[in-house]
C-alpha cells in the first residue's frame, strides 16, 4: 500500500503539472480567437469569460489522457534513472505489479474522462452554442459601446456613439455618428445626430432611428456635396441570421446519440467511448516505453512515445470519419483500431521485459 501511494502521488503530481501547462497553452490560444471576435463585435465581452469557462472541460477531455501518458513516461523514467526500479525489483516487486498499480490510477483518470465526455461537455457545448446563437442574433446596435467604432456587416460602414444607455430594444445612443459606404455612385454618406435608438418598423424589420440630425453625401475633397437636415431618419439593421438554433452532435446528450441510425450521431457516440478506452491503452504503452537501458537517459523515449500517441488519436479521428461516411459499420465502430493498439501495447510491454 505504501508503494501504491508513492506511485500514485508521483503520477498524479506529474499529470497535474502536464495538464496545467497544456491547458494554459490551449486555453490561451482559444481565448485569443474569442478576443478577436469580441473586437469585431461578434461576441459581447460580457459573455467572453462565460464561454471560456464552459469550454475548459472540453479541452480536458483530450488533454487529460495525454497528460497522464506523459506523466507515466516522466515518473517511471525518473524511477529508472534513479535506480529506484532496480531497488523495487530487488525487493521482489515485479513490473506486472507496478503495471497493476498504474492501471488503478488510470481507472480513476478514465472515470474523470468518462464524466467529462458523457455528461459535462455535451451540456456545456449546448450552452455555448446557445450563447453564440444569441450573440449572432444581435445587431450592430447591440454591440455599440461608448466612444467606440463598430463596423457594420459587409463593410457597409461604421457606427459611433459617445454615450450608450439602456439595453437591447431600450438602448439610447447619444451623439451618434454613422459613416456609410458609397451609395448610388454619389459618394459616401455621413450622418450625425444627437440621439438614436433602435425601433421595429411596421414591416417587422429593425431600424436605427436618428433624430434632429443631418445627412451629408459627396466625394471626399470635392465641394459638390448635398446636406439634408432631418427630424427623424431610420437605417435598416439586418440580423446576422434568422435560422433556428440547432445543436450539433457534440452538444447532444449521450443518450440521444444511441440507436438513432444517424451515422453522424453514431460516430460521435463512438468517439466519446474511445476517449474513455484511450486511457488504459496508452497506460500500458507508456509503462512499456518508460523502461530504458542504463545510461540511455530517462527521457530518451518521450518523443517516439508522443508520436505513437498522436498516431493512435489520429487513427481514432479518421475512424470517426469512416463511420460517418459509412465505410465502417456503426455497430463495429472503432473497435478494430482499439484492438490493434491494445495488441501493440502488450507487444511493447513483453518486449520491454527483455530489456536489461
Residue 56's Cβ-side half-sphere holds a number of Cα atoms within 13 Å equal to 11
Q: Model confidence over 224-243: pLDDT tens digits? A: 788 889 888 887 776 655 56
Q: Model confidence over 325-355: pLDDT tens digits? A: 988 888 888 999 999 999 999 999 998 877 6
Average pLDDT, whole number, for the chain? 85
Pairing relationship of beta strands 157-165 and 148-151 according to DSSP bridges = antiparallel
Instruction: Compute the C-alpha angle 280/281/283, nearest 5°.
Output: 60
Note whether 181 and 158 are within 8 A (CB).
Answer: no
Is the pTM higher than 0.85? The answer reads no
Specify the pLDDT at position 49: 87
Which parts of the chain fold into alpha helices (H)? 2-39, 48-81, 84-90, 95-115, 121-136, 140-143, 263-289, 302-325, 335-352
Closest CA to 23 of 50, 49, 60, 55: 60
Q: Model confidence over 75-121: pLDDT tens digits? A: 998 888 788 888 888 888 889 999 999 999 999 999 999 999 999 99
Amino acid at each position: 500500500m505504501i508503494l501504491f501511494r508513492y506511485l500514485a502521488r508521483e503520477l498524479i503530481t506529474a499529470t497535474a503539472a502536464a495538464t496545467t501547462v497544456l491547458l494554459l497553452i490551449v486555453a490561451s490560444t482559444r481565448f485569443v480567437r474569442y478576443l478577436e471576435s469580441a473586437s469585431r463585435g461578434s461576441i459581447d465581452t460580457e459573455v467572453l469569460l462565460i464561454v471560456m469557462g464552459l469550454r475548459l472541460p472540453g479541452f480536458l477531455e483530450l488533454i487529460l489522457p495525454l497528460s497522464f501518458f506523459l506523466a507515466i513516461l516522466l515518473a517511471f523514467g525518473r524511477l529508472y534513472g534513479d535506480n529506484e526500479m532496480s531497488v523495487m525489483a530487488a525487493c521482489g516487486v515485479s513490473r506486472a505489479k507496478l503495471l497493476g498499480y498504474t492501471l488503478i490510477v488510470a481507472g480513476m483518470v478514465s472515470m474523470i474522462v468518462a464524466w467529462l465526455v458523457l455528461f459535462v461537455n455535451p451540456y456545456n457545448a449546448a450552452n455555448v452554442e446557445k450563447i453564440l446563437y444569441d450573440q449572432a442574433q444581435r445587431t450592430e446596435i447591440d454591440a455599440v459601446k461608448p466612444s467606440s467604432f463598430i463596423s457594420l456587416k459587409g463593410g457597409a460602414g461604421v457606427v459611433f456613439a459617445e454615450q450608450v444607455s439602456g439595453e437591447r430594444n431600450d438602448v439610447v445612443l447619444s451623439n451618434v455618428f454613422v459613416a456609410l459606404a458609397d451609395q448610388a455612385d454619389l459618394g459616401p454618406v455621413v450622418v450625425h445626430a444627437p440621439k438614436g435608438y433602435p425601433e421595429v418598423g411596421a414591416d417587422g424589420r429593425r431600424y436605427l432611428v436618428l433624430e434632429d440630425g443631418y445627412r451629408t453625401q459627396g466625394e471626399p475633397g470635392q465641394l459638390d456635396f448635398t446636406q439634408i437636415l432631418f427630424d427623424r431618419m431610420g437605417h435598416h439593421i439586418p440580423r446576422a441570421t434568422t435560422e433556428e438554433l440547432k445543436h450539433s452532435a457534440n452538444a447532444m446528450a449521450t443518450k440521444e446519440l444511441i440507436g438513432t441510425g444517424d451515422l453522424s450521431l453514431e460516430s460521435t457516440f463512438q468517439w466519446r467511448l474511445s476517449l474513455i478506452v484511450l486511457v488504459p491503452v496508452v497506460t500500458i504503452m507508456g509503462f512499456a516505453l518508460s523502461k530504458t537501458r542504463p545510461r540511455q537517459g530517462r527521457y530518451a523515449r518521450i518523443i517516439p512515445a508522443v508520436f505513437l500517441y498522436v498516431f493512435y488519436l489520429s487513427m481514432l479521428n479518421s475512424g470517426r470519419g469512416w463511420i460517418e461516411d459509412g465505410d465502417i459499420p456503426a455497430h463495429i465502430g472503432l473497435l478494430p483500431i482499439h484492438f490493434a493498439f491494445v495488441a501493440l501495447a502488450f507487444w511493447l510491454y513483453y518486449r520491454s521485459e527483455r530489456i536489461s
